[in-house]
Structure 1
Amino acid sequence: MATKLRKSYRFALRSSLIIFLLVTVLLIAVQYLLGRFDWAFIAISGPLVFLISLVIIQARVERFIYRRVKKIYDEVSLLESSSFSSKPVTTDMKTLTEEIGKFAQDKKIEIDTLKIREEYRKDFLGNVSHELKTPLFTVQGYILTLLDGAIKDKKVRDKYLERANKGVERLIYIVKDLDLITKLESGNLNLQQEEFDIIELVQNVFDLLEMRAAKMEISLTFDMDYEPIFVVGDKEKIQQVLTNLLVNSIKYGHKNGTTEVSIENLVQNKIIVRVTDNGEGIPKQHIPRLFERFYRVDQSGSRKEGGSGLGLSIVKHIIEAHGEKIYVESEEDVGSEFSFTLEKTSNNEEISIEESKLVSPS
């Protein structure tokens, strides 16, 4: 609480001047009625009245305004966190009104922010509950069936235990994603920056997802043959970004479809990695919310494609943690393209992508 007083004498000066003029006129009128004039008395008493009035009025204004405003400062605990409390108290009513108005506006913004956060918290808890209860109830159902006597049938027992295990794996998957995104959003995840070949990393992800893509009859491919391209970043996290994007592409791709990865030069020693498919595509109204936690284009409760609903949110946070950008373009029944930027290293001085690939991000 600031106790230094920033004084404003404007009100006191104006009031004292009015009193001075009134007293002077009154003295002249009285002396006129008495038939004699003492100009020396008027010259001394007028300024004396002005000074006395100035001191008294200023003191009363300070006492009235400062003490009452100080009491508000001290008693309203919310003011302690406001910039309003760090400024000197003023006896100038105009300035004081402006400061109180600014304080009220700041508090309105804080309240609106808290309301938004509360809605976000409710949505988050509801989504977490929805995502967890499905595998939990599934596992519980299989276990209860086994306890009711199905455990004696070897075929049923093995089948139900296998399904229960899949439910537990899904729970572990969701919890791991929740833990990761919490660390990313709080800034507690330390990135292990290193130089690595992005072409080799993409090929490794292709190899990991080869069987999954084959089941959907989707081919994973580069748009051309590339020489090694070295970038700076957390190799493990960038691999997760590529995995999440390619898994989504496979999930929502058409049979006999293609998921293509291309890498292009950008200005300022950057590259852009594009993951393009010819799958279902995404309706325009959903694109602005794609990177929200638990947001799904398919709003039905079936969750037929599985997943934690956190994949794209994790992708966005990882890319932004690297200080880079992610972009998305999509059209229904045509396909989608997700792209993100990365910084190249000096190892690329001898190795360059075709000059014709020098573009800016969409």
Structure 2
Amino acid sequence: MTINFKKTYRFAVKSALYITLFSTGLVSFLTYLFFTFSYRFSSIFALAIATFSFVVIQYRVERFIYKKVKKIYDDVSLLESSTFRNQPITTDMATLTREVKKFATDKKLEIETLKGREEYRREFLGNVSHELKTPLFMVQGYLSTLLDGAMNDKTIRKKYLERAEKGVERLIYIVQDLDMISKLEIGELNLEIAEFDIVKLVQNVFDLLEMKASKKDILLMFDMKYNKPVLVVGDQEKIQQAVMNLIVNSIKYGKEKGSTEVSIEDLTEHKVIIRVTDNGEGIEKKNIPRLFERFYRVDKSGARTEGGSGLGLSIVKHIVEAHDEKIYIDSTFGVGSEFSFTLEKAKVIKKLN
């Protein structure tokens, strides 16, 4: 570390002034008593004493402070602070105080961030364990029952094997979703960008989910009749998955005999916004910031009875952000929810890596 003396002369100037006044006064008095008094001699003497005193005091004090401050820098450097390692040592106490305060604040934020990540890691591992454990135990239970003798009964054998298969399918579904999110996060999942009709895509999703919605007598509909195609740019397969996940979520948490409405609107000259609105149970404000976390469920018990991996909304967020677009949520508890995301219009094609 290099030395950078911050020149704050106040202390040295005052000390030198006191010494000069005393020394000059004493010499002038002695000269007056024993010799012929001379103003010129007194002035030169005073200037010499003042200069000498100032230099000595300034240097000595700064060296003293430097030794003390250097120890602080050395102690702090043990904590591997890049800020302190890259900056020269200063003897200005205000600067030192500011730097130490900044260092302490940064470390506090870093510790809080690490605590938050650790809490998230524990919760995530607990959720993964729970999500995988349920179908695994289900498969294990059915297979164990068959091995214990139930295999001889054809009816039971077929029923239990079908249930075990459903458990395996759920495991595969969870693993595939986790794999997709991981690839989206690190940018390994390449998007096949092309023009497509978002109206037709939404209608295809309606057709695929019609039976699922009919079980709760939920009506899937557009907000209006779209007579012309609405062409957008994106990965059609991934956008279809995002729309499907949003509509499945609206069905899962929707009310009996409710509805899910999709609207496609011009947001700007180059953007459209797709809105998926339901009149379900809605979401409390405290839960909204965490909705897109992996495995996060508003209803910890009821949601699992509906199936799914608990990764649907997280996948939607990653797919939308992979397209360089935004996703929004507006929900009122007890009234319903609206999830929306933007897409580029087909006439403005933007390359995405």
Q: Spell out the pairing of 1:106-145 with structure 2 (5 A cutoff).
A: 106-145=106-145
Is 2:64 aligned against 1:64?
Answer: yes
Aligned residues: 347
CA distance in 2, matches of 1:324, 1:96: 44
- The CA distance in 2 between the partners of 1:66 and 1:188, in whole Å, is 52
CA shift digits 1:197-252 (9 cap, x unpaired): 21122122223223323333333222223211122223222112101001112222
Partner of 2:232: 231
Alignment of 1:80-229 (within 5 A): 80-226=80-226, 227-229=228-230
**For each residue in 1:28-60, what CA deviation from the matched residue of structure 2 results, as whole angstroms up to 9, or x when unmatched?**
344345465354543344333333333333333
Equivalent-residue separation in structure 2 for 1:229 and 1:266 (angstroms) = 13
**How far apart are the structure 2 equivalents of 1:183 and 1:64?**
58
Q: Report the counterpart of residue 290 of structure 1 in structure 2.
A: 291
- Relative distance call for 1:324 and 1:36 in structure 2 (3 A) is same
Quote the Cα distance in structure 1 between the aligned partners of 2:71 and 2:317: 48
The aligned counterpart of 1:354 is: none
TM-score of the aligned structures, taking structure 1 as reference length = 0.83
> Bigger CA drift: 12-21 or 220-229?
12-21
Q: Does 1:275 align with 2:276?
A: yes
Q: Given that residues 328 and 336 in structure 1 are in contact (C-alpha distance below 8 angstroms), is that contact kept between their aligned partners in structure 2?
A: yes
Q: Which residue is equivalent to 1:54?
A: 54
After the TM superposition, which of the residue ranges 215-224 and 245-254 deviates more from structure 2? Answer: 215-224
Residue pairs, 1:247-258, within 5 angstroms: 247-258=248-259
The 8 Å contact of residues 142 and 164 in structure 1, kept in 2 or not, is answered as yes
**For 2:274, what is the secondary structure of its paired residue?**
strand
Structure 2 spans left out of the alignment, 5+ residues: none
Range moving further from structure 2, 337-346 or 64-73: 64-73
**Could you tell me the percent identity over the aligned residues?**
66
Shift of 1:262: 1.1
Looking at structure 2, the residues matched to 29 and 145 of structure 1 have their Cα atoms a distance apart, in angstroms, of 115
Partners of 1:245 and 1:275 within 8 A in 2: yes
> What is the CA-CA distance between 1:304 and the residue it aligns to?
0.8
Task: Tell me the distance in 2 between the aligned counterparts of 1:193 and 1:103.
Answer: 46
Aligned CA RMSD, in angstroms, stands at 2.8
CA contact (8 A) 2:4 2:89 kept: yes
Contact 2:73 2:89 in 1 (8 A): no
2:7 counterpart residue number: 8
Which whole-Å deviations, capped at 9, do the CAs of 1:284-309 have from their partners, x for residues lacking one? 44334322332212123772112222
Shift in Å, 1:125: 1.8
SS in 1 for 2:194: strand
Distance 1:176 1:9, change over 3 A: same
Do the aligned residues in 2 keep the contact of 1:329 with 1:337 (CA within 8 Å)? yes
Structure 1: where are the runs of 5+ without partners? 349-362
Give, in angstroms, the shift of residue 188 of structure 1.
5.0
